[in-house]
Amino acid sequence: MKPLEAIRIAWEAILKNKVRSLLTMLGIIIGVAAVIIMVAISAGTEATIQDQITSLGSNLVFVQGAMTRGGPGQAPTGGLVYDDAAAIQDGVSGVKAVVVEQNSSETVKAGDVTLEDVEILGTTTGFPSVRDMDISEGRYFTEQEIERKTKVAILGYDVAQELFGDASPVGEYIKVGNTQIAIIGVFKEKGLVGNTDFDSRIYMPISVVFQKFTPSMFARFMGDSVRMIYVEVEDGVNQDTVIAGIERLLVKRHDVTTDTEDFTITTQQDIISTRESTTAAFRSLLAWVAGVSLIVGGIGIMNIMLVSVTERTREIGIRQAVGATPADIRLQFLTEALMLSVVGGLIGTLVGISGAYIFGALSDMRTVIQASSILLAFGSAAAVGAFFGYYPANQAAQLDPIEALRYE
Amino acid sequence: MSATIIETVDITKIYGMGDISVAALNGINLKIEAGEFVAIMGPSGSGKSTLMHILGCLSQPSSGQYILDGEDVSHLDKAQLAAVRNRKIGFIFQAYNLLARTSALRNVTLPLLYNHVDAKLSVEDGDQKARAMLELVGLGERVNHQPHELSGGQQQRVAIARALINDPVMVIADEPTGNLDSRSGEEIMNLLHKLHGQGTTIVMVTHDPKIATHTQRTIVLKDGVIDTINHNGQHHPAAEVQHEAA
Ligand SMILES: Nc1ncnc2c1ncn2[C@@H]1O[C@H](COP(=O)(O)OP(=O)(O)OP(=O)(O)O)[C@@H](O)[C@H]1O
Ligand SMILES: [Mg+2]
């Protein structure tokens, strides 16, 4: 029998039992759709992480203060201070730029608009380049303004919108806490990176934050304490060498040992790999779900094919009588099983693509449809059809023509 | 005179094993020449169908030799037997055995699907040949009818057209009129006579002695052996058709 004939016969057999065929295909449809949707979700997550890597600025090392409580009779020591940043800049080789951040939270007023609990971020001049932020209007503050503790601010995109709407805020004054601040610039929209909303903050010289907005007397006593120092490593310099250099320097400056360090150093790579291992776990779970679904679909196909072989015993006998060889019969039923799984695979692909699209549109997760996942899902569906279709097809091929013809 | 189509040497068929085994055929020696019309008779259980299955290459003898159209087919495997059935044998069954929900045309072209020898025959040529066959059996107007839209006699005629599509060396018919009323049965017999007149070799099982007399030879089986062979006079096939039609 020619393969084309086998396909035609299989197609007719499937059409003769539309509802049953559709139900049989359901497992395959779900399996294939699951593979495509899930791969789309995990690819979307990866793309989001990739974007974050880019928006964090490349080649960054994070030095974070870890508050340690001193022993009895000792004053608590508190992480990083502003001078550490300068020391890192001057004392560690391979450092391109250092940025310091100290934050606070204040009530902000502009005219008759009042915003509660706005994050105030005190930072240094390297911030826009290290964190990859662009000014859309006005300018960023200068080194001189930090030294002179000039009361100026750059607004995040959302804060500017909320305080001034579409009017230009540059040259206006706002009241942060009790302090009058001049606005000299606005950042372009940046969005959410990780958990940080760059657009709903107000950026100021770090010296102003130390002087005016340091949270408590205690913290003030601690000196110019900073939350975080960002170190940008020079291109082509090994990050680990720089990290070791920073560690050596800070251990000496803080008078601690490597066991009692009051700071932690992390790299972007650390953050990324944590996220990636989560995604990988998620992905392997999904792969299992999809795999099980495909196998269940395959068993469904096998079940229906066995029923079909029994129901059509007489037909098989007739075909054998007029000259169908066992190979012809096997081909016919194998083609039918394959066609069920391939058509199921096609429907599943359509469901999967539209499902991934709808999921991406309705949830805040991103989905990226991967061509490779479609091929993989489709290929596995066909393989499942061939695998689970073989046994029933072989049963059919081995029927005795006389018995088959006698079957009622 | 003409070629020998069937030659069997001591064919036996034993069903089951050990104590409960049944010898359905017990040494059949038979020779049928090309162009013959032979009836096989005998009481129920005498082995007629069993013999027909072996002659039709649907099953293998337990022992003995079967030479079909000059080819020893006693030891062929399933696939080879299937090919022999396709090329050399046309079946007509008591129960018609047409594919349900399939048009008369597609039923007749069914053997062409499995014809690996004339694989060059295009679908169009095959369909044309099938139409010609349906024309021959008087169903030129029913090409697209499905079995459930046809009478028993008409279904059996579709089966005959199917039996002829691959130009077989012989037609094997197991009680072809068994399910039909006498009028339809007679029509089928006329058709078989007509085919015989055109040179087709036919071996037919029947219970009806009247029908058997219309053939050239009657072989009577009893308990798995040939009991008697009757020569039914010298009917001229053409005269037979006229006689039946009258
Ligand atoms: N598959 C089988 N297994 C066991 N015994 C069988 C089988 N087929 C036939 N027989 C036995 O072989 C013998 C011959 O059977 P067969 O069908 O050839 O008879 P028959 O002459 O065609 O009878 P009928 O006129 O009733 O059709 C019977 O005794 C039957 O029981
Ligand atoms: Mg019988």
Give per-residue pLDDT as tens, A155-177: 999 999 999 988 899 999 999 98
Tell me: pLDDT of A233 over 50: yes
As a whole number of angstroms, the distance between CA B58 and CA B41 comes to 20
As a whole number of angstroms, the distance between CA B174 and CA A325 comes to 22
Residue A111 falls in which region: left (phi positive, over 0), alpha (psi -120 to 50) or beta: left
> At B3, which amino acid appears?
A
pLDDT recorded at residue B239: 38
Residues whose CB falls within 8 Å of the CB of residue A324, separated by 6 or more in sequence, listed in order: A1, A316, A332, B82, B113, B114
CB A175 within 8 A of CB A165: no
Q: Which residue in B has a C-alpha nearest to residue A8's C-alpha?
A: B113
pLDDT recorded at residue A70: 46
Span from the CA of B51 to the centroid of ligand 1 (angstroms): 10
- b/e string for A230-265 if b means 16 or more Cβ within 10 A? bbbbeeeeebeebbebbbebbbebbeeeeeebbbeb
Report which listed range, A24-28, A253-257, B233-237, is most confident.
Answer: A24-28
Residues whose CB falls within 8 Å of the CB of residue A288, separated by 6 or more in sequence, listed in order: none
As a whole number of angstroms, the distance between CA A46 and CA A49 comes to 5
DSSP category for residue B98? P
Span from the CA of B175 to the centroid of ligand 1 (angstroms): 14
Least confident stretch, A144-148, A186-190, B209-213: B209-213
CB B160 within 8 A of CB B191: yes
As a whole number of angstroms, the distance between CA B133 and CA B199 comes to 15
Q: Which of A89, A88, A131, A95 is nearest to A232 (CA)?
A: A95
Cβ of residue B122 lying under 6 Å from some atom of ligand 1: no
Tell me: pLDDT of A221 over 60: no
Gyration radius of chain A's alpha carbons? 34
Cβ of residue B50 lying under 6 Å from some atom of ligand 1: yes
Query: pLDDT tier at A53 (50, 70, 90 boundaries)?
Result: low
Instruction: Give me the phi and psi of B116, to 5 degrees please.
Output: -85, -10
Q: Whose CA is nearest to atom 7 of ligand 1?
A: B15
Least confident stretch, A32-46, A166-180, A305-319, B18-32: A32-46
As a whole number of angstroms, the distance between CA B161 and CA B138 comes to 10
Instruction: Answer yes or no: do A322 and B111 touch at CB < 8 A.
Output: yes
CB A182 within 8 A of CB A154: no
pLDDT recorded at residue A60: 81
- Average pLDDT on B71-80 reads 94
pLDDT recorded at residue B35: 93
Instruction: Give me the phi and psi of A60, to 5 degrees please.
Output: -100, 145
- Average pLDDT on B109-135 reads 88
- Average pLDDT on A239-267 reads 84
Interface predicted TM-score (ipTM) of this complex, two decimals? 0.92
As a whole number of angstroms, the distance between CA B168 and CA B126 comes to 15
Instruction: Answer yes or no: do A322 and B87 touch at CB < 8 A.
Output: no
Query: pLDDT tier at A281 (50, 70, 90 boundaries)?
Result: confident
Specify the residue for token string 């309705």: A362
pLDDT recorded at residue A251: 86
DSSP category for residue B147? G
Mutate to test the interface with B, among A8, A16, A311, A322 (most CBs of B within 10 A): A322
Query: Residue B91: its chain A contacts at CB < 8 A?
Result: 321-322
Q: Is A98 helix (H, G, I), strand (E, B) or coil?
A: strand
CB A156 within 8 A of CB A138: no
CB A314 within 8 A of CB A353: no
Query: Residue B97: its chain A contacts at CB < 8 A?
Result: 314, 317-318, 321, 405
Q: Which of A28, A41, A21 is nearest to A346 (CA)?
A: A28
As a whole number of angstroms, the distance between CA B39 and CA B229 comes to 10
Where do runs of H (alpha helix) occur along chain B?
A: 48-55, 78-88, 104-113, 123-136, 152-164, 182-197, 209-212, 237-245
Alpha-carbon gap: A285 to the closest alpha carbon of chain B (Å): 47
Residues B169-220 have pLDDT tens digits of 999 999 999 999 999 999 999 999 999 999 999 999 999 888 888 899 999 9
Instruction: Considering only the beta carbons, identify the residue of A5, A314, A321 that sits closest to B113.
Output: A5
Query: Residue A324: its chain B contacts at CB < 8 A?
Result: 82, 113-114
Distances (CA, A) of B81 to A313, B53, B192: 19, 12, 25
Q: Which of A130, A69, A139, A137 is nearest to A100 (CA)?
A: A130
As a whole number of angstroms, the distance between CA A300 and CA A305 comes to 9
Least confident stretch, A51-55, A319-323, B141-145, B177-181: A51-55
DSSP category for residue A198? G
Instruction: Answer yes or no: do B85 and A321 touch at CB < 8 A.
Output: yes
pLDDT recorded at residue B151: 95
Alpha-carbon gap: B231 to the closest alpha carbon of chain A (Å): 30
Query: pLDDT tier at A94 (50, 70, 90 boundaries)?
Result: confident
pLDDT recorded at residue B176: 94
